[in-house]
Amino acid sequence: MKSLRDLKIGERATVVEFKEGEFALKMMEMGVVPGKIVRLIRKAPSGNPIVIESGMSLIAVRLEESDAMLIKII
Amino acid sequence: MILAQTIKKVALVGNPNSGKSTLFNALTGLNQKVGNFPGVTVDKKTGIYHFKNARGEKQFLELVDLPGTYSLFPKSMDEKVSFEVLCDPSNPDHPDLNIIVADSSNLERSLYFASQVIELRIPAVLALNMEDVSRKMGINIDVDKLSEILGVPVVKVSARNRGSLTQLHDVIQSEVQASDKELMPMAEFKPNVLARVGDLVKANSTYAAFQVACNYPFIGYFEKHPEKAEQISAWLEEEGFKPYTLQARESQIRYQFISDLVKIVQQREERKQINFTEKLDNLLTHPVLGFVAFLGILFLMFQAIFTVAEKPMEWIEYSFTELIAIANDYLPAGLFTDVLTEGVLAGLSGVLVFIPQIAFLFLFIGILEDTGYMARASLIVDSFLRKFGMNGRSVIPMVGGFACAIPAIMATRSISNWKERLITIFITPFMSCSARLPVYTLLISLVIPSDMKVFGMNVQGLTLLALYLLGIVMALISGWVLKRIIKADYAGTFVMEMPTYKWPDWRSLFITIWEKVRIFIWDAGKIIVAISIVLWFLSSYGPTERMEDVQLNYEVMQNDPAVSDSLADAMYSAQKLENSYAGILGKSIEPAIQPLGYDWKLGIALITSFAAREVFVGTLATLFSVGDPDDEATLREKMRQQKSQVSGAPMYGLATGLSLMVFYAFALQCMSTLAIVKRETNGWKWPIIQFFAMGAIAYLASLVTYQAIVHWF
């Protein structure tokens, strides 16, 4: 299964599932729930954190934490 | 009697960036006060909100602004506070009515938290905020339909447009009921456990019972009722109730419900518009231009705090000097006048002088936060600062620390992760603040010749630059070390919403600045005035026989025609300080500071400058009998002439000078900083640790500096 690390800027992916933890709850409460489509918008100059778009929201996440989110690239 | 009526308690709840604080400021104006929620350093803003009802009578409501959160799940300190207030009916702040603020330009996300709060079955009103923004985006929301489905009144408001608030007033004064709709199929969440938990804690609704069942270990209520917590724990065990799994399941079901709901109530015209936020983000988070913009903004902010704040600071100091002179002229000489002028007024001056810097720093921070730039700045520096135990948001306090650590430390509240916030508070005083400048300039001009050059660069200037760098490096090293020492209660994730760019709401911004200034004056001011009275006492009083000798000596000098009156006065002040308790203390620490190259005079100056670093210069001026404390050139000359009693070499040479500079770069010589750290960490533990840790670093670094120069050069 892929994670956000595998996404190139502009690419879209479907959220498949989360590994249990705080990151998962945090993302889910912000609307990034399994089944949702997200898009990688940009990366910070050092490549980390990254910014994804979900619905109307832009959300910055740290790569290491985002490994808990498994995705399927569209 | 009308006044005896219990005033309704209303809570303002909603997501971060939903314009909740702006709405709070619009509703309460200056009738607000900011404090802490009990036991934690989470801002508690309360205010009185009044308006005229339909019959023209004034109505008063007590409004509390709960921290902005995305859901009820208590994961951070902020969320825990909101959770306890909303879910525990015995909480003193538990509201009679909720005003749920939703961002109409991001309805889906807003409705997640909103629908959770509605299901707690507390009377609620849904305020669709930022109506103006969503209209521009072509978003149209069917208010009646939304109200019907959620079971609560829905009003469109725009916090920036005060006229739009009347509709909110109309709804609030009607008898608002709690929603009777069941939005979530609670039957799927182990209803028999929930029924039992609900009975046990007298929850308002099945959903409230669900929240309690999932999160009871985080609720303060159960600390007082451990037997109930054990009971719940047993039930959950028995029924295989897994909080995480069920919460995750709730999120999914709830978002499904909301996405269907949004399809019904929201129409969006397809408008081809250039995405302003995305374009600006391309620039502001660009690998090169992003940093150029970032440094430019920081430079501007730094300049403004440093230079623009200088004038008003001078006025404040000048007014107090005048006030003290007037008091001395008109009040009878004696203990009362001395306490008033040298203790209270001097202390007050020391408090009020920080106001311009605090106001300017918070003006800038407010602009950066409200426009949405802060999130971008945090994004580009996060990975660097993370190595040192901080996060992107630490950058503002760090830069603010170059002007003054006090507003900088107050600004750390925006860092939601407690550990990262604590580390930022800890390392901010290492940044070279403006109060160190007079100390540095005196010492640099004392020990480094003004015409000395290296590669054509002035060495005096280079030394000053080196001192600034020294502070930054020590801040980062300390952060790196603290990251490995401090244990965190909450691991904390860095999931940050990037808000769309907006113009700041100036009225709201000025109210915020006013509140920050007030907090500083009330909370830190008390401590500062108290310490300055103690310091005044220590440096004006001494053992009786010593003071009598000083007095006698003064009378002899006054009668001596060879000694001018001003010289006699200056000598008297010097001797008085030397024989005061502070003087005796300064002399008694001489053995401890001798290895750093300091004599007892510097010892006294170290003690008195605990009030504030710049006092160092004034104390030395007194000890060297320089009549005018601002006459730096004379002081410098007198210090140059001092010879060491041991070697006969100049007492204040290069080694001592550099050692002192290093000491002031590292030591926490500032009672105001300690007072504000106490407030921001909710106790004396951290300021005391910080004071001794920084003192130890300063001592060791100065020792190494002095000994190295003496032995190798």
Q: Model confidence over B152-194: pLDDT tens digits?
A: 999 999 877 777 888 888 888 888 888 888 888 888 888 889 9
Query: Is pTM beyond 0.90 here?
Result: no
Tell me, yes or no, if B71 comes closer than 8 A to chain A by beta carbon: yes
pLDDT of residue B270: 62
Neighbours of B312 (CB within 10 A): 15
Helix, coil or strand: residue B79: helix
Residue A24 reports pLDDT greater than 80: yes
Q: Model confidence over B573-582: pLDDT tens digits?
A: 888 888 999 8
CATH code for the structural domain at B1-272 = 3.40.50.300
Residue spans of beta strands (DSSP E) within B114-164: 124-129, 139-141, 154-156
CA distance B638 to B624: 7
How far B114 CA lies from chain A's nearest CA (Å)?
A: 12
Tokens linked to B320: 């107090």
How far B619 CA lies from chain A's nearest CA (Å)?
A: 49
CA distance B504 to B481: 38
Q: Which chain B residue's Cα is nearest to A17?
A: B248
Neighbours of A53 (CB within 10 A): 17
Helix, coil or strand: residue B76: coil
Check if the beta carbon of residue B78 is closer than 8 Å to that of residue B69: yes
Q: Which chain B residue's Cα is nearest to A18?
A: B248
Residue A37 — left, alpha, or beta (φ > 0 → left; ψ -120 to 50 → alpha)? beta
B240-262: average pLDDT: 91
Check if the beta carbon of residue B86 is closer than 8 Å to that of residue B49: no
In terms of C-beta density within 10 A (0-12 exposed, 13-18 middle, 19 or more buried), how is residue B398 classed?
buried
Residue B633 reports pLDDT greater than 80: no
B23-45: average pLDDT: 82
Extents of the domains making up chain B: 1-272, 290-434+472-507, 545-579
Q: Is A57 in contact with B384 (Cβ distance < 8 A)?
A: no
Residue B142 reports pLDDT greater than 90: yes
Q: With contacts defined as CB-CB under 8 Å, which chain B residues touch A37? A: none
Q: Is B255 in contact with A45 (Cβ distance < 8 A)?
A: no
Specify the DSSP element, H or E, that contains B32: strand B32-36
Helix, coil or strand: residue B685: helix
In terms of C-beta density within 10 A (0-12 exposed, 13-18 middle, 19 or more buried), how is residue A57 classed?
buried
Q: Model confidence over B115-134: pLDDT tens digits?
A: 999 999 999 999 999 888 88
Q: Is A28 in contact with B255 (Cβ distance < 8 A)?
A: yes
Specify the DSSP element, H or E, that contains A40: strand A37-43
β-bridge pairing B8-14 and B97-103:
parallel
Which ranges in B500-580 belong to alpha helices (H)?
A: 506-519, 525-540, 544-559, 565-579
Q: Model confidence over B462-487: pLDDT tens digits?
A: 898 899 899 999 999 999 999 999 87
CA distance B521 to B519: 6
Could you tell me which residues are beta bridge partners of residue B62? Answer: B9, B48
ipTM of the complex: 0.94
pLDDT of residue B564: 81
User: Which residue, among A25, A54, A59, A23, has the nearest Cα to B247 in the 3D structure?
Assistant: A25
Tell me, yes or no, if B379 comes closer than 8 A to chain A by beta carbon: yes
β-bridge pairing A57-61 and A50-54:
antiparallel
Question: Which residues, 6+ apart, have CB-to-CB distance to B500 below 8 Å?
Answer: B105, B133, B276, B277, B372
Helix, coil or strand: residue B151: coil
| pLDDT band at residue B403 under the 50/70/90 scheme | confident
pLDDT of residue B646: 63
Tokens linked to B566: 């001003």
Q: How far is CA B338 from CA B323, B335, B346, B533, B578, in A?
A: 13, 5, 10, 10, 18
Measured over the CA atoms of residue B458, residue B596, residue B441 and residue B576, the dihedral's sign is negative
CA distance B206 to B187: 10
| pLDDT band at residue B3 under the 50/70/90 scheme | very low
| pLDDT band at residue B458 under the 50/70/90 scheme | confident
Tokens linked to B172: 């609030």
